[in-house]
Structure 1
Amino acid sequence: MKPFLCLLLLLLMSCYQVERQCSDFQTGTFTSSITINDSTYHSVFTRTKDLQIETYKGHIDSTTVRWINDCEVVFRTINPKNMQERKDIHLKILTTTDSTYNFEYSYVGEKIKQKGTAKRIN
């Protein structure tokens, strides 16, 4: 009986797949929320296939957008003002709904990842 339950559980787990409609979120206007060390940061951004313009606390940043695949993108700051801004950012969409997506991001080459949520507003 035990081998049968293990086989059934294995089959059920292999059928479950997180649905991601990443291409639905490659362009548009969004809000994002990121929590780091018990602080939540909000921003608004508009993304086209090649450019993202983000507003955070009245500061506007522009980055180029390079899609690796439907769910992964690399951002490069257009006019970096310091060494931190010179680092590219890799973002991966983890899950999607009809109007939101959960993501993780990090500087390219670094192992520490942060997570957040973005919601389409337009």
Structure 2
Amino acid sequence: MKYFVLFFLAVMMVSCYEVERNCSDFKTGHYFSEITIDDALFKSEFNRNDTLQIETYQGKVDSSEVRWINDCEVIFRTINPKNRVERKDIHLKILTTTDSSYTFEYSYVGEELKQKGTAHRAN
């Protein structure tokens, strides 16, 4: 009986834990992002408002239309795609937030492979 009570208490404590997500705090602003793919770190800088995101990556500027599905999920569509890959929309989901950053996962719409990254609010 003693083990059952301990097990029950442990389950109750785990089920009460919920990751805090204040996604609406990150819908607009100036950010830096970091994504690690195959042990390589990729960094970019971007500005986002309600309808547009302008990103600088490796000295190149790219603009995307922004469409929020809900407070924590957004779809990006490249405004002037130059190839077939850029024509694919990107789905991004905010997983966790802090006061100055968020962790996210993203993928091309309809594809299974997801990548994770972190974005930090620029000062």
What's the TM-score, normalizing by structure 1?
0.98
| Aligned: 1:59 with 2:69 | no
Paired with 2:3 and 2:58, the residues of 1 have a C-alpha distance of: 57
Structure 2: 5+ residue runs without aligned partners? Answer: none
Amino acid at match of 1:5: L
Matches within 5 A, 1:21-60: 21-60=22-61
| Aligned: 1:96 with 2:113 | no
Partner of 1:82: 83
Paired with 2:70 and 2:15, the residues of 1 have a C-alpha distance of: 23
* Percentage of pairs with the same residue: 66
C-alpha distance after superposition, 1:63-118 (max 9, x if no partner): 00000110000000000000000000000001100100000000001110000000
SS at match of 1:5: helix
Partner of 2:4: 3
SS at match of 2:21: coil
| Aligned: 1:13 with 2:14 | yes
Paired with 1:35 and 1:41, the residues of 2 have a C-alpha distance of: 6
Amino acid at match of 2:69: I
Amino acid at match of 2:26: F
What's the TM-score, normalizing by structure 2?
0.97
Paired with 1:102 and 1:23, the residues of 2 have a C-alpha distance of: 14
Cα RMSD over matched residues?
0.7
Structure 1: 5+ residue runs without aligned partners? Answer: none
Paired with 2:45 and 2:62, the residues of 1 have a C-alpha distance of: 11
SS at match of 2:25: helix
Amino acid at match of 1:120: R
